[in-house]
Amino acid sequence: MRIISGKHKSKRITAPKKLPVRPTTDMAKEALFNILNNTYYFEDISVLDLFAGTGNISYEFASRGTENIICVDANFGCVKFISETAKSLEFNISTIKSDVFKYLERTSIQSTVVFADPPYDLSQEDFSKIPALVFQNNLLTEDGVLIVEHSKHTKLEELPYFSYLKRYGGSVFSFFEKKSEE
């Protein structure tokens, strides 16, 4: 995987093979950040990266100037890898080893972008829990967005707060936002 833009543009990062991860492809990540770049100034936002895996998405935010990033993953190896990589690249990324659902139930920290990249084989019920917990616990800032990465076989369009989706190969990004009061 590589960092696409920012301070560490083109920097390659190699994760240990033993980590149980499926990093977002560079093509999908580039497309996602093109969307986000039209909405946010990366220096002004905060990010919560759920099921963070290798930290791929967080490194991209950090390279583009985001200072307030929290990564949550249940795997100790993933959390350790993200911490070590963030330190070596001088990124301000905090890591938390926790079950994502338990973390979402107890945190009150609001973020501008909440990015969730759970295992693609997660049950439909568990996929549905992610936006439910984020919105129920008011974890997005007023202009915030929840982005859930999933396979094309998972359908999230019927869930509350669903806004739109973008497909890139076998990956889909579903966007969830608070609707403005008309």
Q: Residue 13's closest CA among 75, 116, 87?
A: 87
CATH superfamily of 26-176: Vaccinia Virus protein VP39 (3.40.50.150)
What's 5's DSSP letter?
Answer: S
The full set of domain ranges for the chain reads 26-176
pTM more than 0.75: yes
pLDDT in tens, the chain (182 residues): 888 888 888 888 888 788 878 777 888 899 999 999 999 999 999 999 999 999 999 999 999 999 999 999 999 999 999 999 999 999 999 999 999 999 999 999 999 999 999 998 999 999 999 999 999 999 999 999 999 999 999 999 999 999 999 998 888 999 999 876 53
Angle, helices 26-37/56-63, rounded to nearest 10 degrees: 40
**Strands of the sheet with 93-97, listed across from one edge:** 93-97, 68-73, 46-50, 111-116, 140-151, 171-176, 162-168
